[in-house]
Amino acid sequence: MGFHAGHVPEFLKAPILLAAILLAYALTNLVLEEARNADTAKAAKADRKPE
């Protein structure tokens, strides 16, 4: 990757790593929230009585 090949300067490695970790956290949080919303919608739909 870029760290081992020397593409990233040494003084930028820590901020880039922190940004990558925060990005991964934010993306997984979005995915989990979508899954939670889908489960809630499915449960609400199942709770409705047929007319």
Write the DSSP symbol of residue 49. P
Q: How far apart are CA 43 and CA 39, in angstroms?
A: 6
pLDDT in tens, 32-46: 887 777 777 777 777
- pLDDT tens sequence across 1-51: 567 888 889 999 999 999 999 999 999 998 888 777 777 777 777 777 665
Query: How many CB atoms lie under 10 A from the CB of residue 8?
Result: 15
pTM of the model: 0.65
| Alpha-carbon span 27 to 5, nearest angstrom | 27
* R_g (Cα) of the chain, nearest Å: 21
